[in-house]
Amino acid sequence: MRLGVAIFALIVSWSGEFRILKVIMTALIFVVIVGILYVTAYAFPGWKEVLSGLIPGGYVVPEWALNKGIDPDPWKEILPLIGWGAGGFASQVWYSYWSLAPVMA
């Protein structure tokens, strides 16, 4: 499988034709966006919980989470997620720079 991906990348790079790769990447980005919307709709707790979570000190870690060993300080759980999410955003930005490069050249 890895060899096939490497050969595909080599062929695309040497041919200078990136249209196929753009179509594949666009489809994959669409799948990611649909997945994000699905998870958001499935896990949405309700507006009351969302708005109360925006108030500093208003958020309390649920008892069931504390029983599973989650730290009572919510920042220790949220900050790693924020850092992980930024990496996904950056990869989307890098892809857009890469896909626009042939147009701008």
pLDDT tens figures, 59-104: 777 888 889 888 888 777 777 777 776 666 666 666 666 666 666 6
38 and 67 together in one domain: no
What pLDDT does residue 34 have? Answer: 94
Q: Virtual CA dihedral for 44, 46, 51, 55, nearest 10 degrees?
A: -70
Helix then strand count (H, E) for the chain reads 5, 0
Give domain status of residue 102, yes or no: yes
3-state SS class at 19: helix
Q: How many residues does the chain have?
A: 105
Give domain status of residue 13, yes or no: yes
Give domain status of residue 81, yes or no: yes
| pTM of the predicted protein model | 0.52
Q: Look at the chain and report how many structural domains it folds into.
A: 2
| 43 in Cβ contact with 49 (< 8 Å) | no
